Structure 1
Amino acid sequence: MSTSALIAAGGYSRSGSGRGPGLELLRLTTGHDAGGPSGTAPTVERLATVDLPDPSFVLWSADGSLLYAVLETSPTRVVAVRITADGSSAEIVGDLALDGSGGCHLAPGRSAGTLLVADYGSGTVETVRLDDDGVPVELIDVDDHHDRSEGQDPHPHQVVALPGTEALAVPDLGLDRVFLYRQDSAGQMGLTGEIPLSRGSGPRHLAPDHESEQLHISCELSGMVATAARRSVETSRTAPTALNGTALSWSVRSMIPASGREGDNALSHIELADDDGMLLVANRGPDTISLLSLTMMRPQIVAEIEVGAHPRHFTQLGDLVLVAAQEGDRIDVLRRKDETLSIAADPIPAPSVSCLAVRP
């Protein structure tokens, strides 16, 4: 028995040393469910490409019919691509220019029919309205982190909905803070709090557990994983709240190196495994993926494996870990089993690949 998944791979195509086509659709077939047994190598079929300038992050719609891409351009653009059921054809159906520049991440809004965009270049978080067909049609809100930068250079890098709460979290690499927002029914974003980190941390991405009791933050500039623990606070109209209305706060309780290798480490993506007991982290510099156990008082590295140069992003498919190695021009295919990581197949060629997303 075999299973297959459609993978969207975004990659740099214009700026710097961009060598990719922009967007590529791949069909990954495995021998068995959940990635197959050890030693069973997945196979890859290339289906379609879309010429886009520097898509830095991609996101599927809930029904898998549309793929959204944020372009790291000036101005930032959000593109919607309609994908056929078999993945053999792709058509651009929406292309909206925003006010900000250097878009690096997008996520579904809490308010229905919205997308949230982090602009690394302009230091802004923008809210986009979608029409009834899911196509981006209007910029409806801009939050400028310069308003609270105190002379520093803001670089918001991700937007994440925190499970079990009403909050949205935005790590800002330039301001060494994670900003907490609430989005109202009209789609407008309001700041409700922040999580300060030590100067020079550079928070890039974060991974909340299933109830957001802990937030694990990849710190690009320090090479550390910070863990912030949640606590209840006195009721406040502006504080982030749990779904039951309890006011919440988070504070950093530990910071540990994300790699056991020597040398500088510019962390990129971080993600929990499906059981919330393990954490995966991408290390640029060592060019490795680390697996951390969360069963102790603080995260602990239990496995680390080499991948292609500059692992910018990764995603999980069953027990497979697919790694976008930007400067290695490849997608590494790893297998996670318990507390181990191993190579599951030969790398998949993918020039300047920046991000990966599995179709739902």
Structure 2
Amino acid sequence: MSTHALLAVGGYSTSGTGRGRGIELLHLYDDGQDLAVERRAAVDLPDPSFVLWSEDGTLLHAVLETDPTRLVTLRVDEDGMRPEVVADLPLDGAGGCHLALGHDGRSLVVAQYGSGSVATVRLDEDDLPSAQIDLDEHRDLVDGIADLSPHPHQVVALPGTGALAVPDLGLDRVLLYRQSIRGEIDLAGEIPLTRGSGPRHLAADHESEQIHIACELSGMVATAVRTAEAPSRAVPAVMPPAPRRWTVRSMTPASGRAADAALSHIELVADESALLVAARGPDTLCLLSLDAMRPECVTEVEVGAHPRHFTQWGDLVLVAAQEGDRIDVLRRSGEHLTPAGEPVPAPSAACLALRPIR
């Protein structure tokens, strides 16, 4: 692991609805025992609640949880001292809360919690957002059911597939999209969950054979397994392989604490032997072993109030505690998590993104 890294912190800002600085860039140094942090620069933007680095680490894309949603891109110099806004694109919709690079590598796909929609944006030859090219309204999927209100919360390009997965907290399902050669996305399937689950974020293994879904409303982790659909006897053997689908195999409580757990972010560890899940309510980070047939919570560590997001850096886990105004620093050794130094002050921190190694 590199001992140096540049961390982008997005969150709710004083120019928006929170206490933070917008986007802040922090230089990290880890000697294996203590984490040293140096504040490099800040960019005042209203509520950049999710940020994403370009693959080469020169650009930082941010989705602003505003009305309308804005997609802002910063160009970040080598040392992170002089970030510059180079694109600012308003989108159709409101309350953008997550974005991901499309499967085509030439688009960004944005989940808009507030308006219940997913926007697709084309990138130009400089990898800057140039135009919105598609808008998918999840309200069109409600079919007149009055008590359903769509809230897409995340976009994930599922590895080993051509699918984009969008957990919708209000519709209690993960919607699956395919992306055309022009960049637009079309609905191709879904993973339904029990009513009241509230799927928020998900993590897929390296082939998307298993998808683990953090359910905010139920406090459960749903594990969906990928299976081949049975081919029709009328289909000749020379036809392409049967399509795939995912079926929920298990629902597991993430937290062992008495408090109701509103799950937020979920990730696999590098060797895919365990899951990390943040639980608001008990305000903990949970480690779930995947050694058995279903995930099992084996370690749970207290962190700051309202852990909304986290990221992994080698054996360190950095946790954005939104209402605790801090970033907790944990060290993982196998199935054990321990505090690794004092929390880093970070008002209203909502998202953490490590710059790719250049």
1:170 and 2:163 aligned: no
Aligned equivalent of 1:339:
335
Deviation per residue, 1:163-189 (Å, 9 max, x gap): 111111100000000001100110010
Aligned equivalent of 2:114:
121
1:104–1:231 Cα change, 3 Å = same
Aligned equivalent of 2:40:
47
Q: How far off is 1:156 after superposition?
A: 0.4
1:324 and 2:287 aligned: no
1:296 and 2:289 aligned: no
Q: How far off is 1:66 after superposition?
A: 0.2
Work out whether residues 286 and 299 of structure 2, in 8 Å CA contact, stay in contact via their aligned partners in 1: yes
Q: How far off is 1:141 after superposition?
A: 0.3
Aligned equivalent of 2:237:
none
SS in 2 for 1:345: coil
Partner Cα distance (1:314, 1:19) in 2 = 19
Aligned equivalent of 1:5:
5
Work out whether residues 17 and 47 of structure 2, in 8 Å CA contact, stay in contact via their aligned partners in 1: no
Q: How far off is 1:112 after superposition?
A: 2.7
1:17–1:309 Cα change, 3 Å = farther
One-letter code aligned to 2:327: I
Aligned equivalent of 1:72:
65
Partner Cα distance (1:26, 1:340) in 2 = 26
Deviation per residue, 1:53-95 (Å, 9 max, x gap): 0011000000000000000000000000000011111000000
Partner Cα distance (1:123, 1:111) in 2 = 24
Deviation per residue, 1:118-167 (Å, 9 max, x gap): 00000001100111111111000001001111331000000001111111
Partner Cα distance (1:277, 1:8) in 2 = 27
Q: What's the TM-score once normalised by structure 2's chain length?
A: 0.94
One-letter code aligned to 2:13: S
Residue 279 (structure 1) aligned to one of 275, 279, 285? 275
Aligned equivalent of 1:133:
126
Aligned equivalent of 1:81:
74
Deviation per residue, 1:20-59 (Å, 9 max, x gap): 010000001011xxxx2xxx11100000000010011000
Partner Cα distance (1:305, 1:14) in 2 = 30
Partner Cα distance (2:82, 2:293) in 1 = 49
Q: How far off is 1:3 after superposition?
A: 1.6
SS in 2 for 1:303: strand
Aligned equivalent of 2:85:
92
Partner Cα distance (1:245, 1:280) in 2 = 34
Of stretches 15-24 and 206-215 in structure 1, the one that deviates more from structure 2 is: 15-24
One-letter code aligned to 2:6: L
Mapping of residues 94-109 of structure 1, within 5 Å: 94-109=87-102
1:52–1:260 Cα change, 3 Å = same
Mapping of residues 226-305 of structure 1, within 5 Å: 226-234=222-230, 246-305=242-301
Partner Cα distance (1:193, 1:315) in 2 = 29
1:211 and 2:204 aligned: no
Runs of at least 5 residues in structure 1 that lack an aligned partner in the other structure = 237-243
Aligned equivalent of 1:27:
27
Runs of at least 5 residues in structure 2 that lack an aligned partner in the other structure = 233-239
Count of residue pairs brought into register by the alignment: 346
One-letter code aligned to 1:101: A
1:190 and 2:183 aligned: no
Deviation per residue, 1:2-34 (Å, 9 max, x gap): 720000000101488500010000001011xxx
1:60 and 2:53 aligned: yes
Work out whether residues 210 and 224 of structure 2, in 8 Å CA contact, stay in contact via their aligned partners in 1: yes
1:2–1:124 Cα change, 3 Å = closer
SS in 2 for 1:84: coil
Partner Cα distance (2:216, 2:3) in 1 = 35
One-letter code aligned to 2:279: N
SS in 1 for 2:183: coil
SS in 1 for 2:108: strand
1:231–1:346 Cα change, 3 Å = same
Partner Cα distance (1:319, 1:121) in 2 = 35
**Once superposed, what is the RMSD of the aligned Cα atoms?**
1.4
Aligned equivalent of 1:240:
none
Q: How far off is 1:245 after superposition?
A: 5.3
Partner Cα distance (2:279, 2:349) in 1 = 16
SS in 2 for 1:147: helix
Partner Cα distance (2:294, 2:311) in 1 = 24
**Deviation beyond 4 Å, 4+ runs, structure 1:** 14-17
